[in-house]
Copies of this chain bind each other. A is one copy, B any other.
Amino acid sequence: MRSLDAIFSPKSVAVIGASITPGKVGHDVFANILKGGYKGTLYPINLNAKFVLNAKAYSSITDVPGDVDLAIVILSPRIALKAVEESLEKGVKGIVIISAGFREVGGEGLEIENRIVSICKKAGVRVIGPNCLGVINPISSVSLNASFAARMPAYGNISFISQSGALCTAVLDFAADRDFGFSKFISIGNKADVDELDLLRYLHDDPNTRVIMIYLEELRRGHEFIEAVKEITSGYKSTPVLAIKSGRTSAGARAAASHTGSLSGSEAIYDAIFKQAGIIRADSIDELFDFANAFAYKSETALGKIRRKIPTGNRVAIVTNAGGPGILATDMTMSSGLKLAKFQEETIKALASHLPLTANLHNPVDIIGDATQDRYENALTAVINDKGVDGALVILTPQSMTNALGTAQAIVRVARRSHKPILCCFMGVIDVSSGVKFLQEHGYPVYKFPENAAKAFGALYGYFKWLNRQHLARFEFEHNKERAVRIIKNCLVSGKTHLGGPDGMDLLECYGFNVLPAKLAKNEDEVVDIAKSITFPVAMKIVSPQILHKSDAGGVALGIETEEDAKKTFNEIIDKAVKFNSDALIDGVLVQKMGEPGDEIILGMNRYPVFGPLLMFGLGGIFVEVFRDVVFRLAPTGRNEARRMIKSIKGYSLLKGFRGRPKADIEAIEKLVVSLSDMVINHPEITEMDINPLLVHGEGKGATVADCRIILGK
């Protein structure tokens, strides 16, 4: 028996704290199990009562005559601890603690929670909760509603994990309204022991779960979560994971020493985790349901095989009995990363032979308001058999000749003969309900609005791309880690924590970054000597630990061509710096060889407590903060992720070569992203950094660091 089976499919359950008073959680949970038709043995545990709802009560779980697989605890913390101890003594195999007052209130509550986890771990017993709604397993062979939500959901193939108990009750209510069934339904509460990752693993192995929906407020594991979920969402036996994460915008900007620091934050972290793990993110609860319906959609093929219906391309055919909704679907199709399929000659011919003269034979196919089920069947068959079509959206509006049920049956017939996904939109509620019901009962996704159907199709296609993502050979680097360790040590010893120019460049060189020759000048004469030795033209930049954004202080001058200019510029930069911040300690002015021109890129990192280093890549220079055309990933980041990062920014079209500009050396960027990842993994002392700009030259010509900023911590 797998570790969590005792919780989801117990043969016997004891409710410790079962109460005789209706309205009390201890009563309601017991009543819900009873009313839910649980197929095992149920024992109420109550210190004083003889019976709870006609069932003989026991004063302690240890008094129960038979074995108990699962203990459900609804007691205040101190007595809950005692109940857990007795449960372990009794030999239970799983525990769900519904009551609150633990970690979330701190103090003794937190201590008791830790104590419970520790003794259960020792006994090899897993715990869900505390402070949760409970768990539900609607499958008829178990039929367990061990929760204080009165509503037992229908059985289905979608599992739901929620970090919010309140959301659970609302979701159950929606589900009932939508005829939406669940495989497992779990409220994880404080997740003292079992957390979302344990459940994702368990549900991935669960033959009754095809899709996992998760409502998430925070994660307590970063890299481990990514690696494990990537396994779950990838490959032939993958389980799609759909998430809604709250707290999208609440992070807000925080004061930070680097661009990377100020642009990242909790939203960037979660976005990175979801992307790296292959989790599909929904924008709203409504969308979560919409997507889940599409992902649960498997159908039997002609050969009796069950397979998930994922499109293998993005070319969509639309069949509609009304023009307006067809255009709405077209709009959303295009903005969901899909394309309208272009039909082959023979498809057009087939459509022409079945459709009236006024029909539109091109995509979106308008089969006209008086379309019967036959017309739908013929048109859908024609387009779904087209080689240039990867799936279809069928739109039905209720009109006088419309037969919603007949059309639904026709769609199912066509779908059974094809491996391509067909999503339906039956507009309206009342007039089309017979058709909607038929489709739902047969496991076909059906939507109220064409926009939702198109968006769900886009999510399916996104998953296809994830499943079929590129796997490139790993880069093999020989970094000079020892030298980097020495540089960092020296800086820390001498109290330097904000590395600008020279030290930062030295550090970057250890990891294969090309840097421009540069030297610090303390006076006019040194400027000239250095400029001559590295050859004109040169750039000059203020160096001061108090001046991080150099251009804010007028501390940057480029393209200096002559000795005279160099001297003048030195003095100007120093003057401006003093005016900018009279307390600034000025180390001098960095004189640097002017770089070859290139596209300006920013690479950066910010380190977070639980999640570790978060890497950033994007278009650099002045536009970083205006357009925020940047993307994040948690390190370690390999070559595949690096390529996905590069391709995902808007500015990628610039890098690919644009309006006569040369193509940039994209492989060089890939390498440097991976090198940066190696660097921040190897040196935890680096807490935050920007390389901005990194000048990326033409194909094969590499990239040069023009400036950097590295912050060291202890």
Q: Does B173 lie within 8 Å of A432, measured CB to CB?
A: yes
Decide if A358 is an interface residue (CB 8 Å cutoff): yes
Decide if A335 is an interface residue (CB 8 Å cutoff): yes
Decide if A505 is an interface residue (CB 8 Å cutoff): no
- CB A620 to nearest CB in B, in angstroms, measures 13
Chain B residues near A174 (CB, 8 Å)? 427-429, 448
Q: Does A163 lie within 8 Å of B324, measured CB to CB?
A: yes
Q: Which of B331, B398, B623 touches A249 (beta carbons < 8 Å)?
A: B331
Q: Identify the stretch in A113-121, A492-500, A653-661 within 8 Å (CB) of chain B at 4 or more residues.
A: A653-661
Q: What CA separation (Å) do A330 and B164 show in the bound complex? A: 15
Chain B residue with the shortest CB-CB distance to A25: B400
Q: What CA separation (Å) do A173 and B661 show in the bound complex? A: 55
Scan residues 611-665 of chain A and give those whose CB is less than 8 A from a CB of chain B: 622-623, 625-627, 629, 650-651, 653-654, 658-661
Chain B residues near A283 (CB, 8 Å)? 451
Q: Does B166 lie within 8 Å of A331, measured CB to CB?
A: no
Q: Does B625 lie within 8 Å of A627, measured CB to CB?
A: no
Decide if A554 is an interface residue (CB 8 Å cutoff): yes
Decide if A199 is an interface residue (CB 8 Å cutoff): no
Evaluate whether A622 and B659 lie within 8 angstroms (CB atoms) in the complex, with A323-B166, A429-B173 already known.
Answer: yes
Q: Does A549 lie within 8 Å of B249, measured CB to CB?
A: no
Q: Does A284 lie within 8 Å of B449, measured CB to CB?
A: yes
Chain B residues near A629 (CB, 8 Å)? 627
Evaluate whether A430 and B659 lie within 8 angstroms (CB atoms) in the complex, with A148-B400, A449-B286 already known.
Answer: no
Scan residues 134-168 of chain A and give those whose CB is less than 8 A from a CB of chain B: 148, 151, 162-167
Q: What CA separation (Å) do A247 and B92 show in the bound complex? A: 61
Decide if A322 is an interface residue (CB 8 Å cutoff): yes
Decide if A325 is an interface residue (CB 8 Å cutoff): yes
Scan residues 517-562 of chain A and give those whose CB is less than 8 A from a CB of chain B: 549, 551-554
Q: Which of B284, B325, B553, B623 touches A167 (beta carbons < 8 Å)?
A: B325
Decide if A67 is an interface residue (CB 8 Å cutoff): no
Q: Does B400 lie within 8 Å of A23, measured CB to CB?
A: yes
- CB A551 to nearest CB in B, in angstroms, measures 5
Evaluate whether A659 and B284 lie within 8 angstroms (CB atoms) in the complex, with A165-B369, A428-B173 already known.
Answer: no
Q: What CA separation (Å) do A285 and B427 show in the bound complex? A: 11
Evaluate whether A250 and B327 lie within 8 angstroms (CB atoms) in the complex, with A397-B167, A650-B626 already known.
Answer: yes
Chain B residues near A399 (CB, 8 Å)? 166, 169
Evaluate whether A431 and B169 lie within 8 angstroms (CB atoms) in the complex, with A164-B322, A284-B451, A327-B217 already known.
Answer: yes
Chain B residues near A623 (CB, 8 Å)? 623
Q: What CA separation (Å) do A507 and B398 show in the bound complex? A: 57
Chain B residues near A430 (CB, 8 Å)? 151, 173, 176-177
Q: Does B428 lie within 8 Å of A331, measured CB to CB?
A: no
Chain B residue with the shortest CB-CB distance to A366: B166
Q: Does A170 lie within 8 Å of B398, measured CB to CB?
A: yes
Q: Does B169 lie within 8 Å of A659, measured CB to CB?
A: no
Scan residues 387-430 of chain A and give those whose CB is less than 8 A from a CB of chain B: 397-400, 427-430
Chain B residues near A660 (CB, 8 Å)? 549, 551-554
Q: What CA separation (Å) do A549 and B660 show in the bound complex? A: 9
Chain B residue with the shortest CB-CB distance to A551: B660
Q: Which of B170, B249, B284, B334 touches A330 (beta carbons < 8 Å)?
A: B249
Chain B residues near A322 (CB, 8 Å)? 164-167
- CB A315 to nearest CB in B, in angstroms, measures 16
Chain B residue with the shortest CB-CB distance to A174: B429
Chain B residues near A653 (CB, 8 Å)? 625-626
Chain B residue with the shortest CB-CB distance to A554: B660
Chain B residues near A327 (CB, 8 Å)? 217, 246-247, 250
Decide if A321 is an interface residue (CB 8 Å cutoff): yes
Q: Does A249 lie within 8 Å of B169, measured CB to CB?
A: no
Q: Does A397 lie within 8 Å of B169, measured CB to CB?
A: yes
Q: Does B398 lie within 8 Å of A661, measured CB to CB?
A: no
Decide if A303 is an interface residue (CB 8 Å cutoff): no
Decide if A105 is an interface residue (CB 8 Å cutoff): yes
Chain B residue with the shortest CB-CB distance to A178: B429
- CB A692 to nearest CB in B, in angstroms, measures 12
Q: Does A246 lie within 8 Å of B328, measured CB to CB?
A: yes
Scan residues 213-235 of chain A and give those whose CB is less than 8 A from a CB of chain B: 215, 217
Q: What CA separation (Å) do A164 and B321 show in the bound complex? A: 12
Decide if A82 is an interface residue (CB 8 Å cutoff): no
User: What sequence of 0s and 1s flags, for each residue 81-125 of chain A, a beta carbon within 8 Å of any chain B beta carbon?
Assistant: 000000000000000000000000100000000000000000000
Chain B residues near A325 (CB, 8 Å)? 164, 166-167, 170
Chain B residue with the shortest CB-CB distance to A627: B627
- CB A500 to nearest CB in B, in angstroms, measures 16
User: What sequence of 0s and 1s flags, for each residue 371-393 of chain A, a beta carbon within 8 Å of any chain B beta carbon?
Assistant: 00000000000000000000000
Q: Which of B428, B552, B622 touches A654 (beta carbons < 8 Å)?
A: B622
5 further A-B pairs in the complex, CB-CB below 8 A; given A177-B430, A247-B330, A626-B654: A164-B322, A167-B322, A169-B398, A174-B428, A622-B659
- Can you report 28 A-B residue pairs in the complex whose CB atoms are below 8 A from each other? A151-B430, A163-B324, A166-B369, A167-B324, A169-B397, A169-B399, A170-B325, A170-B427, A170-B428, A173-B398, A173-B428, A173-B429, A173-B432, A174-B429, A174-B448, A215-B324, A247-B327, A247-B330, A283-B451, A285-B449, A286-B448, A286-B449, A286-B452, A551-B660, A622-B661, A625-B653, A626-B651, A626-B653
